Amino acid sequence: MTHQPHTSRPESELLDLFEFSHVVNSSLDLSIILDTLLLTLMGKLLSAKAVVLLHEERTIFSVVNGKGIPKSFLKQKISLPRIRKKTIRVDKVFCEPLFTHGINRLFPIVSQDHVIGYFGVAEHSRRPIGTTERKFIETLISISATAIEKGFSFRTVKTINRSLDEKIQQLKTLFELAKEFGGILEQDKLLKLFSLTLMGQVGTSRYAICLKEGKSIYSKISGAYLETDKGLIFDLVQSPLLSSAIPRKKKYEVLREHLAKEKIIALIPLQMQNEVKGVLCLGERLRGGEYSESDLEFIFSLSNLAFVSLENSRLFIEEIEKKKLENELLIAREIQQGLLPRTLPEIAKFEISGINISSKQVGGDYYDVIPADNGTFIIAIGDVSGKGTPASLLMANVQATVHALVPFHLELPVATARINDLIYRNTGSDKFITFFWGALDPKTRKFQYVNAGHNHPLVLRANGSIERLSEGGLILGIMKTVMPYEEGSIVLKSGDSVIMFTDGVSEAMNVHGDDYTEERLEAFVKRQNGKTAHDILTGIKNEIQHFTHGAPQSDDITMVVFKAL
C-alpha cells in the first residue's frame, strides 16, 4: 500500500463506507448496528472511549451503547438539548456526566430532520479531529441514522411484544385458575394450587396470609409476628405495597422490623366487597429482583381470586355444618318432647300444671308426673348438663331409670343414690344432672322429696310466706354416692303451692345481660297468692317474657306447679 499513498486513501475509505453500510443496513439488531458504528469510528479516530445516546423524550437521552466507559454509565439518562450543529464541544457546563466520563465531543445523529441521538467520543488534545475525519464521521453517522432508527423501533416492538406475551400469560393463568378454583371446595387443595401458581408465576415460595378474623394461614413462613400488628397492617395495606414503600413513620417502625426479619418484601390486600379482609405477605423472589407494578397487579388479582374462592368454600362448609347442626337439634328436640308427659294425671284435691319451652339449642330439661300404684304421685324435674342431642339422650336415660324405679317403692334417698350411681358409671364426669323429685300422697297431703343439687323449689304458703325445698345431696353423675341423700318432708295445707323450676327460669337473660334471678322469682311468686296452679305457672312465664323482652331464649324453661285445694 505504501507505494501509492495518495490514491489508496480515498479508495480504502470508500471501501470502508461500503462495508459499513452493508453491515449496518442488513441488521435489525440495534446492538450490532451500534457496535459496528462505535468500533468503526473508534478505529478511525484512535479514540478509546465512545458512546451512543438516543433520544427518549423531551430533553432526555439515554446512553444505549458505549465502549471504554464503566458499565454503570450504560442505560443512564442524561439531559441534553437537541442541537443540529455539525459537532458540539462538551465541557463541564454543557453536560457534566458526559464530561466526567471523558466524552468531550458530540456528533448529532439526524434522521428525517430530527436529532434522534448523539455519537459522543473522547477527542484527544494531542490528536484533534480534522476536517476530513469530521466529514467521514458525518457520512458514517448519516448512513447509520436510518438503520439506528429502524433498529430502535424494532427493539421497541420486541419489548412491547414481550410484555404483551407476559400479560397474555398472566391472563391465561387467571382464567385457568378462575375456572379451577370454582370447582374446588377443600381449602387445602385451594391453598396448594394457589401456592404452586404463586411460585411458578411469581417465583416466590415464601408467603403468609394474614386474616383479619379467625386464624391466619401460614405457608413456609414461621412465627406469629403479624398477630400483634393486625390493626396496623390492615389500615396500612389498602392496595398492593412494597415493604420498602411503607411510610417512614414511627408507628410503622416495629412492623417494618418484623417484615424485614421475615424477609417479607411485598404486601397485597385481600378484599371482599371492597373491604380488606386479609393481607398476603410475600417473601423474596427466588430468581431475585423487586416486584414490578405489573407483578403486584397480577398477584393482587390472583390472590383475590383465591381468597374469594377460599371464602366461598368456607361459607359453603359452614352452611353444611349449620344444616347438620339444625338436623341434629331437630332430633334432640324430638327426643326431648317425646319424653315429656303429654298430659298430666289428675290428682285428687290437687291442681297440677307443667310446662317446657325448649330453647333453639335444646337444653335437656325434664319434668315428669308419674302415678305410683300405692296411690302416691312421683313429681320430678331435672336439668341435664350440655345441650343438643347428647343432653337429650342423657335425659332419656334418666327418664327411663326413674320410670323403672317407681314400681319398686324404694325410699327416695335410696332410689336417688341408685340413679346417681347408674349415671356416674355410664357417663363421663363432665356430664351431670341437677334433679329434684318428690312423692306426693294426696291423702295425707305429705310431700317427701330429695333435692340433688337442683334449684330449690319454692313453697308458697296460703298465708303468703315462702319456703324452699333444699334437703337432699349432691348433683347426679359427678361421683359415686358416698354420703346418703337426705329426704325432706312437708305437709301441704289447702291453698299451699309448690313451684318447681329449672335454671332457664332464674337465669333467663334480658338484652342487657342481666339474669332474672331467684330473688325476682320469689318476689313475683309471693304476689301470686290465691291464684290457681295454672295461673301461677302462666304468670311466671309471662313475667319472664316481659323481663327478657326480645332477648333470645338461651336455655330451656321448665316448670311444674302444684297446689293443694
Is 197 near another protein (CB under 8 A)?
Answer: yes
From residue 139 to residue 178, what is the string marking binding to another protein with x (rule CB under 8 A)? -----------------------x--xx--x--xx--xx-
Closest CB to another protein among 16 and 180? 180
> Strands, DSSP E only, in 185-227?
207-211, 217-219
Tell me the angle at which helices 187-202 and 293-339 cross, rounded to the nearest 10 degrees. Answer: 180
Is 196 near another protein (CB under 8 A)?
Answer: yes
Output the smallest distance, CB 50 to another protein, in A. Answer: 31
Closest CB to another protein among 132 and 169? 169
**By C-alpha distance, which of 354, 357, 335, 337 is closest to 345?**
354
How many Å apart are CA 170 and CA 312, to the nearest integer?
A: 23
Output the smallest distance, CB 165 to another protein, in A. Answer: 6
Closest CB to another protein among 44 and 189? 189
How many Å apart are CA 31 and CA 43, to the nearest integer?
A: 18
Burial class (CB in 10 A: 0-12, 13-18, 19+), 188: exposed
Closest CB to another protein among 198 and 540? 198
Output the smallest distance, CB 382 to another protein, in A. Answer: 55
How many Å apart are CA 417 and CA 477, to the nearest integer?
A: 10
**By C-alpha distance, which of 507, 457, 454, 501 is closest to 477?**
454
Closest CB to another protein among 172 and 409? 172
From residue 279 to residue 318, what is the string marking binding to another protein with x (rule CB under 8 A)? -------xxx------------------------------
Output the smallest distance, CB 269 to another protein, in A. Answer: 21
Is 219 near another protein (CB under 8 A)?
Answer: no
How many Å apart are CA 73 and CA 267, to the nearest integer?
A: 33
Closest CB to another protein among 169 and 489? 169
Burial class (CB in 10 A: 0-12, 13-18, 19+), 425: exposed
Output the smallest distance, CB 386 to another protein, in A. Answer: 42
Residue of the chain from 97, 203, 371, 386 that contacts another protein (CB under 8 A): 203
b vs e for 277-290, b when ≥16 Cβ sit within 10 Å of the residue's Cβ?
bbbbbbbbbeeeee
Closest CB to another protein among 295 and 496? 295
Output the smallest distance, CB 191 to another protein, in A. Answer: 12
Contact by Cβ (8 Å): 103, 49? yes
CA torsion sign for 340, 342, 345, 351 is positive
CA dihedral 262, 264, 265, 267 (to 10 degrees): -150
Is 401 near another protein (CB under 8 A)?
Answer: no
From residue 236 to residue 275, what is the string marking binding to another protein with x (rule CB under 8 A)? ----------------------------------------
Closest CB to another protein among 297 and 515? 297
Give the three cell numbers for residue 154. 424494532
Output the smallest distance, CB 208 to another protein, in A. Answer: 16
The DSSP annotation for 392-456 comes to HHHHHHHHHHHHHHGGGT--HHHHHHHHHHHHHHHS-TT--EEEEEEEEETTTTEEEEEEESPPP
Is 200 near another protein (CB under 8 A)?
Answer: yes
Closest CB to another protein among 174 and 232? 174
Number of residues that bind another protein (CB under 8 A): 22
> Could you list the residues that contact another protein (CB under 8 A)?
162, 165-166, 169, 172-173, 176-177, 180, 193, 195-201, 203, 205, 286-288
